[in-house]
Structure 1
Amino acid sequence: MGSRANGAVYRTDLRTGKGGVLFEGATGTASIGLKLDHDGLLYLAGGAGGTARIVDSRSGRLKSTYQLTDSTATFVNDVILLGDRAWLTDSRNAVLYGVPRGRGGEVRSLPLGGDWVQTPDVNNANGIVETPDGRGLIVVKSTPGELYHVDIKTGEAKKIALKGQADVANGDGLLRIGRTLYVVQNRQNLISVWDLDAKVTTATLKRTITDPRFDVPTTAARWGDRLYLVNARFTSPQTPETTFNGVAVPA
């Protein structure tokens, strides 16, 4: 779990709920989206700081920091690992950032085009996952609540037609298992579950998942037959005394 307050990362045992701080972070930083690779490297989306950071999940040591943009109007929100890059969304700019994995290399800025229309002064691109064939990306646009299939070569974004529900308003974290796409809709306190067609042009609603313990969940990860979600509690006072938790529900 990442902290918006200081960029710290907290690691929890799913069996016991016990945990501790893995990465201390620093004042003025944030850790929003997180992804762990098979080599134990943890990629962190840096929010309003406009950064991507890479942390060794075994030692908690910061290995690399990439300044993705110098814009003051930025919110680097989520990250997915695909091939030789980590791809990150920017909720305030119509661009994806491709951070090299492994030894060095330059950050790639990929402007979003095609059907993508950036809405000013609200969160746009948010959660991100790879397509089932591993050749493209799926991005959720939180406002007004749309899904897009993005070509990672050109940045062309094609709107995915939704069947069975008008939108995915407040869409936040995405999780894909095969051709099943889970969309965490934070302030709706639900997960909508979709069937993707083979070409990722349409998504058909299968069902929704909700739980009275949800308190503005923002992202989901899967282990076994359960989904684990983080409650961001955006509707609660954000003070040093505010408590936070995770919730597990059947997948």
Structure 2
Amino acid sequence: MRTRIVALATALLLAPATVASTGAAQAAPGSGTAGPTPDRIELPRGWQPEGITTDGQKLYVGSLATGAILRANPRTGTTSVLPRSATGKPAVGVEADRRRGVIWVAGGEAGEIRAQSAASGRVLATYPLPTAMRFVNDLVVTRDAVYATDSMNQELAVVRLDGKQVPASGPAELLPLTGDLVYGAGFNANGIVASGGYLVLVQSAKGLLFRVDPLTGDTEQIDLGGYLVTNGDGLEIDGDRLYVVRNRDNLIAVVDLAADLLSREVTDELTSDDVDVPTTVALLRGSLYAVNARFGNPSPATADYWITRLDAPRG
């Protein structure tokens, strides 16, 4: 398993900028029609992305290097950095919350969850976990709470929600994970989504999926029929279809879940010559947007990074 701890001393201070994607087609003058959706959206050099999310219109990508958040227009390929978003602490998983106008951020080894303005990136509230070896990896927002995985401790971090206001800063609750999930060496709980009153998470180290009761923390392994989601990272869900990003394998497993989420059929594996260690995906208008973390690159602070668009399966 890869090491995802980022040395903040090498972080770049990324100023607000606008970048045009190479290959982003533009409409001909006077044509009145938009060009085709770009298949690749360039990110600033040295961005070091990990998480990607969508508010239904735009894409948002966090930076491991600085904690900054970038907004991308998938129709044009243009990007801009939210001007007040850099925190000096990692942005790992990110989740758009249209109801509250925020981007929820998993803080990695900083051991916290952050709520940041989707307009400016300003930190509105911080929810630290108790002092310990932590890696807050990914998160999901439900009507009642924000749930975040900790890849090093067998528990979820929880921020309770009530109405449209962002809760005041304060310690996150901890929900122990019991049942079938057993942590081992390497990264454990990673990507997380919500469906049908349950949570679904992937255990990277063992290549397994689990259904989680958000009230009790009880976990049940999802029957994959012997298929392992090796190097499982970010998850995306669309009805009963689950997308599992397998980073080092450079592919996305397509899993059709049963109604109880406990059994499945793996129907496809998506890939592209343009992916390079994808970590998470966002589903928007029939397309999957995969962010390429390029883990193992010898010069991450000066490397090129980008988002790759893939067609989502139909039916």
TM range (shorter): over 0.9
Q: Match for residue 115 of structure 1? A: 180
Q: Match for residue 154 of structure 1? A: 216
Q: Match for residue 94 of structure 1? A: 154
Q: Match for residue 3 of structure 2? A: none
Q: Distance in 2 between matches of 1:76 and 1:197?
A: 29
Q: Distance in 1 between matches of 2:283 and 2:300?
A: 29
Q: Match for residue 241 of structure 1? A: 302
Contact 1:51/1:69 (8 A) holds in 2: no
Contact 2:128/2:171 (8 A) holds in 1: no
Q: 1:70 aligned to 127, 131, 134, which one?
A: 131
Percent same amino acid at aligned positions? 39
Mark the runs of 5 or more structure 1 residues left unpaired by the alignment. Answer: none
Q: Match for residue 170 of structure 1? A: 231
Q: Which runs of 4+ in 1 moved over 4 A?
A: none
Paired residue secondary structure (1:214): coil
Q: CA deviation at 1:59?
A: 2.5
Q: Distance in 1 between matches of 2:74 and 2:298?
A: 27
The alignment yields a C-alpha RMSD, in angstroms, of 1.4
Aligned residues: 245
Q: CA deviation at 1:17?
A: 1.6
Q: 1:217 aligned to 266, 272, 278, which one?
A: 278
Using structure 1 for the length normalisation, give the TM-score: 0.94
Q: CA deviation at 1:235?
A: 2.5
AA in 1 matched with 2:109: A
Q: Match for residue 57 of structure 1? A: 118
Paired residue secondary structure (2:248): helix
Relative CO higher for 1 or 2, CA cutoff 8 Å, sep ≥ 6? 2
Offset from partner CA, 1:77-121 (integer Å, 9 cap, x none): 00100122111001111010111333447632111110111103x
In the alignment, structure 1 residue 24 sits paired with structure 2 residue 88: no
Q: Match for residue 194 of structure 2? A: 130
**Higher Rg:** 2
In the alignment, structure 1 residue 9 sits paired with structure 2 residue 69: yes
Q: Match for residue 261 of structure 2? A: 200
Mark the runs of 5 or more structure 2 residues left unpaired by the alignment. Answer: 1-60
| Of 101-110 and 229-238, the range deviating more from structure 2 | 101-110
Q: Distance in 2 between matches of 1:24 and 1:231?
A: 21
